[in-house]
Homo-oligomer: A and B are copies of this chain.
Amino acid sequence: MKKYTLAEIAEFLQAELRGDAICVVNGIASLDKAKQNQISFCAKIPGFASDAGKYLSITKAAAVILSSKDAERYSGNALLVADPYLSYAKLTNLFIEESKSKPGIHETAVVGQNCDIHSSVAIAANCCVGNNVTIGEHSVITANCVIGDDVKIGNDCHLYPNVTIYHGVQIGNRVIIHSGAVLGADGFGMANDNGEWRKIYQLGAVRVGDDVEIGANTCIDRGALEDTVIGDGVKLDNQIQVGHNVKIGAHTIIAGCVAVAGSTSIGKYCMIGGGTSFNGHINIVDRTIITGASVVGRSITDPGVYSSAVTVQPHRKWMKTVSRLLQLNDMAGKLYKSKGK
């Protein structure tokens, strides 16, 4: 269990420390759950209403990271920062318990020919690495990953167990890929031949930029002719499906279970809610926000917030609503006709 004085934390966060500099904390917790040896923070979580403020008066935390404004109503040990949520994010770096992998290739790993693997790289047990693979400094390939021929992986990447990277995929620096993710499987290209489907072999690959995170069991398909491209700083949650030749712009964030059909382009700085489906061959402009469980059937040319989900209703009420919905064209006909009189 890691321990730090408030002075050490204040220095790490470049925060203004108010209170007991030598007070020691050994963990982070939310205001309502913090124990006497933990540090907490007072911040609105983006996208959700927050009652964090009301817990300030009752928290048992050893210290609280907060804004100058919130600090006025808190008398305990405080670390004053401009953005408490961002400071909390940074602070999590100090409390990671995950053990570091040691450089070197485990004796059970199988590595192909003509590879350029930096001596600082760790390749864990039962990995299989193809031919002509390049892996940059300090990257970590954990157990049971499979990396195809001609793959390039940059510096400081981390592949969690059971990741599969198909041949020819290129991955930037500081990329994190969680377990079960599959990069570079064939895009879903088929041509019809008298009712039967002929495979279109997928000759492109996948290019992933720097500082990307890819969630567990997410799939990014290789391109048909050109590459599928994931921009710098893109963050993809779990179980996302990215079709062939999709382009996702830099610093776009996509929550879990989103499906992006082939050849669609999503701009930069977009935020996509979980469970959303995108049609293929459409373009989404930069800085678009899509709320969760939406369906994006057409291109979006104006930045803004878009939605199409309906939240649940009591079942019987909803069945009535749906039956009326299916009468809607008739209703509209009646209404507009009678009004036209």
Chain A contacts to B: CB under 8 angstroms: 27-30, 33, 45-49, 83, 85-86, 88-90, 92-93, 95-99, 106, 108, 110, 124-126, 128, 130-131, 142-144, 146, 148-149, 160-162, 164, 166-168, 176, 178-180, 182, 185-186, 188-193, 195-203, 211, 213, 215-217, 219, 221, 225-226, 233, 235, 237-239, 241, 243, 251, 253, 255-257, 259, 261, 269, 274-275, 277, 279-281, 289-298, 300, 304-322, 324-329, 331-332, 334-336, 338-339
The smallest C-beta distance from A14 to any residue of chain B, in angstroms, reads 13
Q: How many identical subunits does the complex contain?
A: 3
Q: Is the CB of B85 within 8 A of A191?
A: yes
Q: Is the interface of A mostly helix, strand, loop or mixed?
A: loop
CB of A307 within 8 A of CB of B300, answer no
**A198 and B90: CB pair below 8 A?**
yes
When A193-B86, A197-B251, A332-B327 are in contact, do A160 and B185 touch as well, CB less than 8 Å?
Answer: yes
Q: Is the CB of B233 within 8 A of A197?
A: yes
- Of B28, B190, B237, B291, the residue contacting A188 (CB under 8 A) is B237
Task: For the complex, give the distance between the alpha carbons of A217 and B257 in Å.
Answer: 12
A185:B178 contact, CB within 8 angstroms: yes
Residues of B within 8 A of A241 (CB): 237-239, 256-257, 274
Contact B310 A98 (CB under 8 A): no
A153 to chain B, nearest CB (A): 16
Instruction: List the B side residues contacting A327 at CB < 8 Å.
Output: 332
* Contact residue among B99, B196, B314 (Cβ-Cβ distance under 8 Å from A251): B196
Distance from A50 Cβ to chain B, minimum over Cβ atoms (Å): 9
